[in-house]
Amino acid sequence: MPDEMLVPALAAMRMPAIERMALHEAVAQSLRDLIIEGALAPGSRLNERVLCEHLGVSRTPLREAYRVLAAEGLVQLLPNRGAQVTALTHDEVAHTFELLGTLEGLNGELAAQRATDAELAELKRLTREMKAAHAANDLPAYYKLNQAIHALIGTAARNPVLAETYRTVNARLQALRFRSNLNRDKWKLAMKEHDAIAQALVARDGALAARLLREHVANKRMVVLGQLALARTAAQASA
């Protein structure tokens, strides 16, 4: 993304205030949001001057945040050239979604068995709020609630190895999952699927929850790969 386009894109984002405590972690979270919501597109170079000015930080915590995101696979560090947002190939996206579906299903199966009543109550609350965000057409708010729900399911599964593996794999797909909801019909379907997933978990039906989560990820995979194919065709036509 050219610098002159990046500045207004950054200004349009609703960014959380960055506190001095754990500064590089706050910067990393802000950059995650920018990447997920599309202000920093796949393959784009990260302009340190623009980002430092926008986030109100020096280059040291920004570069520390780069290293955090590089470990997650969200950015690539370029020797002597800064960093850029990771751009996954078609096959990398397809393979990562296949693995993610298995991880989501196992999370759901275990969470149905191990979740506390308080966690299930929180799941119902988050799902209600997500439905409200969907009705208000507020995709950023919806997606943050979506992330919270998937994180809660992972916590309720009570398997730290699974949780860490899921977090690492899912981080690579967050931006693509966010953009899959730009199609209103696909977004409506995703909300319907989440409603059913929540009901299965509250009923402690692990087999059903696992199946619904795998189907949910498979549908996301199909939408994302379709979007990538359309983008590739458009790029070839304009070349």
**What is the set of domains in the chain, with CATH numbers?**
3-85 (1.10.10.10), 90-238 (1.20.120.530)
Does residue 21 register a pLDDT over 50? Answer: no
pTM for this predicted structure: 0.81
pLDDT band, very low/low/confident/very high, at 196 (cuts 50, 70, 90): very high
Phi, psi dihedrals of residue 149, rounded to the nearest 5°: -65, -45
DSSP single-letter state for residue 85: E
pLDDT given at position 187: 94
Local structure of 96: helix, strand or coil: helix
Q: Mean pLDDT over residues 209-231, rounded?
A: 94
Does the pLDDT of residue 140 top 70, yes or no?
Answer: yes
98 or 235, which is more confident?
A: 98
Q: Is the pLDDT of residue 214 over 70?
A: yes
Distance CA 167, CA 35 (A): 16
* Residue 192 to residue 224: CA distance in whole angstroms: 18
**Amino acid letter at 132?**
A
**Going by C-beta distance under 8 Å and a sequence separation of 6 or more, which residues neighbour residue 227?**
176, 179, 180
The C-alpha angle 168, 148, 221, rounded to 5 degrees, equals: 55
Backbone angles phi, psi at 73, to 5 degrees: 85, 10
pLDDT in tens, 115-132: 999 999 999 999 999 999
pLDDT of residue 188: 95
- Contact assessment for residue 224 and residue 176, using Cβ atoms and an 8 Å cutoff: yes
Which of 108, 152, 101 lies closest to 129, judged by CA?
152
Mean pLDDT calculated for residue range 181-185 = 90
pLDDT reading at 16 higher than 90: no
CA separation for the pair 168, 160 (Å, rounded): 12
From the list 4, 13, 8, 58, the residue with the least C-alpha distance to 31 is: 13
| 103 pLDDT tier (thresholds 50, 70, 90) | very high
- Helical spans, DSSP H, in 172-205: 174-179, 184-202
